């Protein structure tokens, strides 16, 4: 994430969630300890105590201790039993979804994670789904995942233990399927003093699925290597949207909703309207006069009331877009809400860029770590 310049932005989102140390954790998956934990654990939500067995030994952890192992602050954390969470499951926040995706309505059976455009929000969602929510290749975004993202926005601390054990319960209820939370169970085992030496314990995860790095993002068709130590961030249509890393800083702003979406359309024809012959001549003459005038005037230091771009992809270096507001009437399903210019933090690619031509490799039946 540091290589892409998004580390600070993603870290700040998890910090608002109360998961201060979660991103620092990483471990591998072992089949035997994973199956042993899932077949022996017992939870007591009244006393907030978890008991389980690993390597034949019985262990006991409080929910607070489990949260601490996962780098979660022991503040007043929201659990799955919280009324606010239950209300959100019934009435998801479509307005927040609109702000991060541009889609006017939220339908879990149709909306997909790839509709999230901002790199920090999408990577944060990816971290959640491939760890605590136990998905290998998440596609759709459900209400619980959206609740986590909105909690990051609202700085609402969430409990790891409650949602993790809900996932364990879900795995128990299915007789078939694959398990992708083994890395988290390995972390728990090491925290209670256990080790898993080879060859007694065999790893069941293999690269490239072990780390969420640039190579993995490229394989997932979320990133395209430009070959110049820069990368193109891809949208849901596999078209280039942003250049990473950003030249103006080490991170993207995630606090201002007006930076969560790029311009919907930014082409030479769209930004510079077509003129008739006479109008075009007048425009060229006016442009030459403006250039001469600009040569005589000192350059302004900055203008925070205008959208700005970095490293334009064609000769023009300033663009203006008509203002839009999120409080406008909702559009029909499937139509995108007019999005915003990201101020001084993202480079938008205004022309058609090459799509990823390589197809996704065939999925392997492996068990994924956190």
Closest by Cα among 319, 302, 220, 213 to 265:
319
User: Phi/psi of residue 42, each to 5°?
Assistant: -140, 140
pTM for this model (two decimals): 0.69
**pLDDT by residue (tens digit) across 151-169?**
999 999 999 999 999 999 9
Residues 316-328, mean pLDDT to the nearest whole number: 37
Mean pLDDT over the full length of the chain: 74
Residue by residue, DSSP assigns 131-151 as: TTT--SS--B--HHHHHHHHH
pLDDT of residue 249: 43
pLDDT in tens, 219-231: 888 999 998 889 9
* Residue 310, pLDDT score: 34
pLDDT band at 262 (very low <50, low <70, confident <90, very high): low
CB burial of 112-130 (b: ≥16 within 10 Å; e: otherwise) equals ebbbbbbbbbbbbbbbbbb
Q: 265 or 276: which carries more pLDDT confidence? A: 276
- Confidence tier at 104 by pLDDT (50, 70, 90): confident
Q: What percent of the chain has pLDDT over 70?
A: 64
What is the CA 163 to chain-centroid distance, rounded?
19
Please provide the size of the chain in residues.
370
pLDDT higher than 70, residue 110: yes
Which pLDDT does position 207 carry in this prediction?
Answer: 60
As beta bridge partners, residue 244 has 231
**Residue ranges per domain, the chain?**
7-191
Residue whose entry in the numeric block shows the structure tokens 């101020």: 343
CA distance 15 to 210: 23
């Amino acid at each position: 994430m540091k290589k892409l310049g998004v580390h600070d932005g993603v870290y700040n989102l998890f910090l608002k969630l109360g998961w201060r140390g979660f991103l620092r954790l990483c471990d591998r998956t072992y089949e035997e300890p994973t199956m042993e934990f899932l077949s022996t654990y017992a939870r007591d939500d009244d006393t907030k105590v978890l008991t389980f067995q690993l390597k034949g030994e019985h262990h006991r952890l409080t929910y607070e201790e489990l949260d601490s192992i996962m780098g979660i602050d022991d503040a007043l954390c929201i659990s799955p039993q919280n009324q606010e969470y239950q209300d959100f499951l019934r009435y998801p926040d479509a307005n927040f979804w609109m702000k991060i995706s541009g889609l006017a309505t939220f339908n879990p059976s149709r909306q997909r994670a790839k509709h999230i455009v901002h790199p920090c929000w999408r990577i944060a969602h990816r971290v959640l789904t491939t760890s605590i929510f136990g998905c290998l290749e998440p596609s759709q975004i459900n209400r619980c995942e959206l609740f986590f993202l909105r909690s990051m926005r609202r700085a609402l601390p969430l409990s790891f233990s409650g949602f993790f054990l809900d996932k364990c319960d879900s795995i128990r209820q299915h007789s078939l399927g694959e398990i992708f939370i083994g890395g988290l169970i390995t972390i728990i085992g090491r925290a209670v003093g256990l080790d898993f030496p080879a060859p007694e314990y065999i790893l069941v995860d293999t690269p490239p699925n072990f780390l969420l790095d640039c190579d993995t993002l490229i394989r997932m068709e979320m990133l395209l290597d430009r070959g110049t130590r820069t990368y193109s961030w891809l949208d849901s249509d596999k078209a280039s949207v942003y250049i990473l890393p950003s030249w103006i800083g080490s991170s993207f702003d995630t606090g201002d909703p007006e930076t969560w979406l790029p311009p919907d359309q930014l082409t030479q024809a769209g930004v510079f309207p077509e003129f008739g012959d006479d109008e075009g001549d007048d425009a060229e003459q006016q442009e030459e006069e403006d250039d001469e005038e600009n040569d005589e005037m000192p350059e302004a230091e900055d203008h925070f009331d205008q959208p700005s771009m970095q490293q334009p992809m064609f000769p023009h270096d300033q663009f203006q877009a008509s203002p839009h507001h999120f409080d406008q009437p909702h559009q029909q399903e499937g139509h995108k809400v007019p999005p915003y210019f990201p101020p001084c933090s993202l480079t938008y690619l205004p022309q058609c860029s090459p799509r990823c031509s390589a197809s996704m490799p065939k999925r392997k039946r492996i068990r994924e770590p956190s």
